[in-house]
Amino acid sequence: MLTTGCPQHRSAGFTLIELLITMSLLVVLLRLAAPSFATWIHNAQVRTVAESLDNALRQAQNESVRRSRQVVFSLTNDTPGIGSAAAANGNHWALHAVPLPTEALQFISGGVLGDADNVTITGPGALCFNSMGRQVANASPGVADAVCTISAADPLTSYDVAVSGADRPLRVTVSLGGQVRMCDPSHTLSSSYPEGCP
């Protein structure tokens, strides 16, 4: 027997209740993920600034060897240039060639330390490299407010990079011989933690 009539079709789509349940689950998942996402963003800021600092220090060390001249690396809050003054926890960096007695100070290069607005950098405002790329002390290298010192007790110079809300601060170290290294200060350098700090 044949039946005649219109076949019943279910309309495609979601009901209002299905949509509300899906949205509620999405909100709960986003709230659970938000704290870890914020921590990840802060850790990325620390990494960006530490890598910029690491690269700038390596450039200073390389320029001193290439030019066979003493080079000053300095943190600054000024726009990097010939007249930029050294400042601890500056958000820019600058490289200058130390002048010979008959020359003027020479600006080499400079830049911004990533997203340094909220990031703190704890370390010396200036660091000097001699013509062999090694750290050297200089009480007046020619850059305003710059003094390069080396501690006899601990010649390793350290820059600690951190931001509120991050769970992984980083440290950039410069050895007396000029080796630049980024490390994790929460671990001690060992065979188990090669990324640890000395």
* Inter-residue contact 96 to 126 (CB < 8 Å): no
| Helix (H/G/I), strand (E/B), else coil: 160 | strand
Residue 108 C-beta-side C-alpha neighbours within 13 Å: 24
Pairing, β 71-76 against β 106-112? unpaired
What sign has the CA pseudo-torsion 153, 155, 94, 131? positive
In the chain, DSSP assigns E strands to 71-76, 92-97, 106-112, 120-122, 126-129, 157-162, 170-174, 180-188, 196-197
- Residue 8 is predicted with a pLDDT of 66
Per CATH, the architecture of 56-197 is what?
A: 3-Layer(bab) Sandwich (3.55)
- Residue 18 is predicted with a pLDDT of 84
Name the pTM for this structure: 0.80
- Residue 17 is predicted with a pLDDT of 86
Rounded CA separation 56/71 (Å): 12
- Residue 34 is predicted with a pLDDT of 64
Would you tell me how many other CB atoms lie within 10 Å of the CB of residue 174?
Answer: 26
- Residue 136 is predicted with a pLDDT of 94
At 52-109, the pLDDT tens digits run 999 999 999 999 999 999 999 999 999 999 989 999 888 899 999 998 888 888 999 9
Q: Give how far Cα 56 sits from Cα of 34, 52, 94, 102, Å.
A: 33, 6, 8, 28
Burial (0-12, 13-18, 19+ Cβ within 10 Å), 58: middle
Mean pLDDT for each consecutive 10-residue tract of the chain (198 residues)? 60 79 84 74 89 95 94 93 90 91 90 78 93 93 91 91 88 94 90 85
- Residue 173 is predicted with a pLDDT of 95
Question: Can you give the residue ranges of every domain in the chain?
Answer: 56-197
- Residue 20 is predicted with a pLDDT of 87
